[in-house]
Structure 1
Amino acid sequence: MENRYCVIMGGGIGSRFWPFSRATRPKQFLDFFGTGRSLLQMSYDRFVKVIPKDHIFIVTNESYADLVKEQLPELSDKQILLEPQRRNTAPCVAWAAYHIQALNPKANIVVAPSDHVILKEEEFGRCLLKGLQFVEKYPALLTLGIKPNRPETGYGYIQVGEDAEEEIKTVKTFTEKPSLEFAKVFVESGEFFWNSGIFIWNVQSIIKAFQRHLPDISNRFEAGIDKFGTEEEMSFINENFAACPNISIDFGIMEKASNVFVLCSDFGWSDLGTWSALYDHSPKNSDGNVTQNSKALTYECKNNVVAVQGDKLVVMEGLNDYIVAEADNVLLICPKSDEQRIKQFVTDTKMKYGDEFI
């Protein structure tokens, strides 16, 4: 237990969930399912079952410090790493690795986003323990792969190779968000798993990977190696973090390294990244409509998701496969099939109207 650590990445804006997810309160801080717990809190609840509470770290943007403290008051300030700028997941993971190395050079670390849905939590815990045991024995970069149940174009795919251990295989290739045609081929082949974006590794293994594949990041952090774990760490980060390249851990390391393995798993995983993902995981009426904590009357409507804040009544007629979402000062009406354009809607809104609606 003393060598188990967890890093929850919670600094994204979640623009694909606009208008619910806003710059001041993005989706990881929202309670989408009416459980009384946000996505961030649900992530913490899962990890604290297998990892000591004081070994769990949240990496987030400095503007969300108060939100994290409000939602996870059991964490100390030292467990909240505040990024001064947004620089994608590779710099985020690197900072967490160097920080944890200063605390425990033998640490085995789980790295996970804060916005996932996991239905089979006991199985998830079993996979975490198996993965932690694997990276303790081998200098491996391990990702959790999810057995696909449909040809999904919104996820990345991992092609698996030879067996390394029971349930663990080598990785042949990574493919980012394929076309529907390729996704169908991948699923039918049985050789591909969804890339969950949940990683497990020993702290020394990931730091060596940064040194080899992303020296622009590792060299910068190595220059301040004596400051990690001290009172000087935050001033060093404030001076250096912005100079890190804006690159993902997947592209920067996982797709390049030769010591990458996948734990083939099936624990009811979903990346709650889009309105369609929320629709898939929500109860539906006889017409396939989802009314997310909203009051709605629907006529000749099928397979819609309606999410409207407050006591406003929504009356709809003749809509099929639509998103109808209202939060604060924004109403969004969009076909589910076009939800990938929501990021563009946010960009256009910011250009035309500034930050008022973002």
Structure 2
Amino acid sequence: MNKNYYAILMAGGVGSRFWPVSTTEFPKQFHDMLGTGETLIQKTFTRLSQIIPKENILILTNEDYNNIVLEQLPMVKQEQIILEPVMRNTAPCILYASLKIKKQNPDAIMVVAPSDHWIEDEVQFCSNLQHAFDFCERDENLMTLGILPTFANTGYGYIEFDKLDSRPVKKVKQFREKPDYATARKFIQSRNFLWNAGIFVWSAKTVLKAYEEFQPVMFAHFMNGYEALNTPKEAAFIKDNYPLAQNISVDYAILEKAQNVYVLPATFDWNDLGTWGSLYDKLPKDEQENAVVNATVYLENATNNIIRTEGKKLVVIDGLTDYIIVDKDDVLLIYPKNKEQDIKQIVSKLK
């Protein structure tokens, strides 16, 4: 394996739309959401380790989840876990991790990947990732892997690429925010839009050069502690200075400003597993299109539901269609699938 290949595995999110299974104390990336026997972060780590040395895979997470990461990924050493004292979106944490990698290996090429997405064709994923690594190794490029849209999804951001670019890797024209349905349909019909999966590839040198140019204040802020990185002094510097960093995404911070941004249309199946509905899409169904995880069911006049319990609990349902039914500990959720985006607001109100 190429010792210059690195990964930043993003594992700090809360996944509140998957409540009550995903909680602040134990988010969805640490759950076996699909009943496969592996948690989402375990699946992602295994997939990345097919092309990246295991010791070069860094886990970026909140300090509250340090022990969970060590428990679920026993092959990972403590120094591979990058801990955020507070949540500050993706730009500060990627900068922090990139500086650590650059100090360790100035020739590093890295992928930034979410820990809670579902990718089925891992052979194609590795092939696409290798293509991206090669592209970023040759030139100073910032890259993302885009997903060919299958329907007018209003829950994803989109990447618009140059229609006239016939190369496998396309020049990005612009990033688009989550659209309304009519706009999403126009994107699909244009045939030069991809879903933004939040998977990025670049060299340490190139991405840090972009931060220095487009986010000089943030770059200088973290460079003040460069000498402390990868030493015992790092924790104290991060504890005092990380909370002062601007709360901004890497898309806004550098990708929407840079001119050397490219996208590779991915050839693997992908699902961001962002909601119960997206999980339902990936699960096997019975004859009435019900998806069942960890439950024993008796169903009458029940169709298109997702049912999940702990410990094979018996669930009896009559007369429900298109519902989310989730039982966990002292919480029972029975909620329409078409209102699943509201679960995040429900959780906030309950808090």
TM-score by length of 1: 0.95
Instruction: Give the letter for the 1:211 counterpart.
Output: E
Tell me which residue corresponds to 2:258.
257
Could you tell me how far 1:163 is from its partner in structure 2?
6.8
Tell me which residue corresponds to 1:243.
244
Q: Secondary structure of 2:140's match? A: coil
User: Contact (CA 8 Å) 2:86, 2:242: kept in 1 or not?
Assistant: yes
Instruction: Give the letter for the 2:129 counterpart.
Output: L
Tell me which residue corresponds to 2:96.
95
Could you tell me how far 1:165 is from its partner in structure 2?
7.8
Instruction: Give the letter for the 1:216 counterpart.
Output: V
Partners in 2 of 1:344 and 1:216 — Cα distance? 34
Structure 2: gaps spanning 5 or more residues: none
Tell me which residue corresponds to 1:341.
342
The yes-or-no answer on 1:221 pairing with 2:225 is no
Could you tell me how far 1:211 is from its partner in structure 2?
1.5
Alignment of 1:40-119 (within 5 A): 40-119=41-120
Could you tell me how far 1:164 is from its partner in structure 2?
6.7
Deviates more, 1:290-299 or 1:161-170: 161-170
Could you tell me how far 1:283 is from its partner in structure 2?
0.2
Could you tell me how far 1:135 is from its partner in structure 2?
0.6
* Percent identity of paired positions between Structure 1 and Structure 2: 45
Deviates more, 1:22-31 or 1:303-312: 303-312
Q: Secondary structure of 2:22's match? A: coil
Could you tell me how far 1:162 is from its partner in structure 2?
5.8
Instruction: Give the letter for the 1:290 counterpart.
Output: A
The yes-or-no answer on 1:296 pairing with 2:297 is yes
Deviating above 4 A after TM superposition, structure 1's stretches of 4 or more consecutive aligned residues are 162-165
Partners in 2 of 1:248 and 1:141 — Cα distance? 15
Alignment of 1:183-198 (within 5 A): 183-198=184-199
Q: Secondary structure of 1:207's match? A: helix
Q: Secondary structure of 2:66's match? A: helix
Alignment of 1:1-358 (within 5 A): 1-161=2-162, 166-350=167-351
Partners in 1 of 2:257 and 2:297 — Cα distance? 49
Q: Secondary structure of 1:115's match? A: coil
Could you tell me how far 1:271 is from its partner in structure 2?
0.4
User: Contact (CA 8 Å) 2:294, 2:312: kept in 1 or not?
Assistant: no
Could you tell me how far 1:256 is from its partner in structure 2?
2.1
User: Contact (CA 8 Å) 1:216, 1:244: kept in 2 or not?
Assistant: no
Q: Over aligned residue pairs, what C-alpha RMSD do you find?
A: 1.3
Q: Secondary structure of 2:12's match? A: coil
User: Contact (CA 8 Å) 1:163, 1:169: kept in 2 or not?
Assistant: no
TM-score by length of 2: 0.97
Query: How many aligned residue pairs are there?
Result: 350
Q: Secondary structure of 2:211's match? A: helix
User: Contact (CA 8 Å) 1:163, 1:170: kept in 2 or not?
Assistant: no
Could you tell me how far 1:298 is from its partner in structure 2?
1.8
User: Contact (CA 8 Å) 1:18, 1:342: kept in 2 or not?
Assistant: yes
Partners in 1 of 2:105 and 2:41 — Cα distance? 25
